[in-house]
C-alpha cells in the first residue's frame, strides 16, 4: 500500500518553524529578515510565482522588497539594481525571477548576486560548493525534495536513486544532494540509451522532465519512492505531473501528488534559505 507525501501539510509545518526563527532574528537584530524579489516583464506564470513568494514572506514574517521592471529594461539598469541590493544591509536574500527576456544576459545578472545572498542557490559558487559537498545554499526545489524524504525517514544512504532530467534548476542539484546523502545516483536525460531499464533500478525515482505522465507504471520498481517534480497539463487541461500517478501509485511505497506535492515545498525552502542566509550574515 502506497503512502502519499503531502507537500502542503509538510510545508505548513516547516513554515511554522521558519516563522519562529524569523521572530527570533527580529528580537535579536532589531529588524526583519529581508528578501528582494525582481520581476522583469509581464509573464503570467512568473507573476503568479512572485505573488506567492511575497505572500509566503508575509506569512512567516520576512520583509519583502519587490521590484517590477518592464520587459524593455536595459542590461545595465538591471545590473545596477542587483548591485544596489547586494550592498543593502536590510536585504539578506536576492531572487531574480527566471526566465529573463532574451536581450538580458541572465548569467551575468545572477553572477552579480553575492553568494551569501543567493537564496535560489543558482550561482556558480553555490553550485560548486554543492558539488564539493560543502555547506551552501542549495536550490529550493531539490532541497524541498530532500526535506520530504527525510520527513518520512525514507532511507537514502546506500540506495539507488535515479533522477530523470538534468536542468541546473532541478536535475543537477537534485543529483548532487542525493549523492551528498550517500545515495548511488544515476542521472537520465534525452540521450539515455535505455531509460526504462535505468528507472526500474531506482529505489528513489525523481521525475523532472516537464512531460505530462511521462513516467509510466512499467518504468517503476515495486516499492520504489517516486518523487514527481513536474507541473503540466494533461489532454483535458487538468494539472498533472511527469508521473502517471493513477497507474503508478499502487507500485510505490511512497509517492508525491501533483498538485500538492513538491510544489508547495519550493517556496517554503526559499523562505528557509533566506532565513539561513540572514542568520549567517549576522553570525548568529
- Pick from 144, 143, 145, 89: which is nearest to 117 by CA? 89
**Distance between CA 189 and CA 182 in Å, rounded?**
22
**Distance between CA 234 and CA 242 in Å, rounded?**
10
Provide the grid cell at 194.
535505455
Long-range contacts of 85-88 (CB under 8 A, 24+ apart): 85/36, 85/38, 85/117, 86/112, 86/113, 86/114, 86/117, 88/34, 88/36
Query: Residue 158, class by beta-carbon neighbours within 10 Å (0-12 exposed, 13-18 middle, 19+ buried)?
Result: exposed
**Distance between CA 47 and CA 54 in Å, rounded?**
11
The catalytic residue positions are: 53, 97, 120
Please say whether the beta carbons of 26 and 32 come within 8 A: yes
Amino acid at each position: 500500500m502506497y503512502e502519499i507525501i503531502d507537500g502542503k501539510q509538510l510545508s505548513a509545518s516547516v513554515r511554522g518553524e521558519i516563522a519562529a526563527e524569523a521572530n527570533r532574528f527580529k528580537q535579536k537584530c532589531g529588524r526583519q529578515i529581508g528578501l528582494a524579489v525582481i520581476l522583469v516583464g509581464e509573464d503570467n506564470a512568473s507573476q503568479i510565482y512572485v505573488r506567492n513568494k511575497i505572500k509566503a514572506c508575509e506569512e512567516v514574517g520576512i520583509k519583502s522588497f519587490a521590484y517590477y521592471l518592464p520587459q524593455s529594461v536595459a542590461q545595465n539598469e538591471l545590473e545596477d539594481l542587483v548591485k544596489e541590493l547586494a550592498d543593502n544591509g536590510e536585504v539578506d536574500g536576492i531572487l531574480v525571477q527566471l526566465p529573463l527576456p532574451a536581450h538580458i544576459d541572465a548569467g551575468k545578472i545572477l553572477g552579480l548576486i553575492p553568494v551569501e545572498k543567493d537564496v535560489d542557490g543558482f550561482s556558480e559558487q553555490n553550485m560548486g560548493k554543492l558539488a564539493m559537498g560543502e555547506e551552501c545554499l542549495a536550490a529550493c526545489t531539490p532541497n524541498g525534495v530532500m526535506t520530504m524524504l527525510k520527513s518520512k525517514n525514507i532511507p537514502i544512504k546506500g540506495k539507488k536513486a535515479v533522477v530523470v532530467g538534468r536542468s541546473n534548476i532541478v536535475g543537477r542539484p537534485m543529483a548532487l544532494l542525493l549523492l551528498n546523502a550517500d545515495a548511488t545516483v544515476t542521472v537520465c536525460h534525452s540521450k539515455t540509451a535505455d531509460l526504462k531499464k535505468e528507472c526500474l533500478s531506482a529505489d528513489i525515482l525523481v521525475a523532472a522532465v516537464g512531460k505530462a505522465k511521462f513516467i509510466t507504471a512499467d518504468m517503476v520498481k515495486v516499492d520504489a519512492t517516486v518523487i514527481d517534480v513536474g507541473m503540466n497539463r494533461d489532454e483535458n487541461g487538468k494539472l498533472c505531473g511527469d508521473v502517471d500517478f493513477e497507474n503508478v501509485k499502487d507500485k510505490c511505497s511512497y509517492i508525491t501528488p501533483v498538485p500538492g506535492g513538491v510544489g508547495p515545498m519550493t517556496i517554503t525552502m526559499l523562505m528557509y534559505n533566506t532565513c539561513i542566509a540572514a542568520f549567517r550574515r549576522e553570525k548568529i
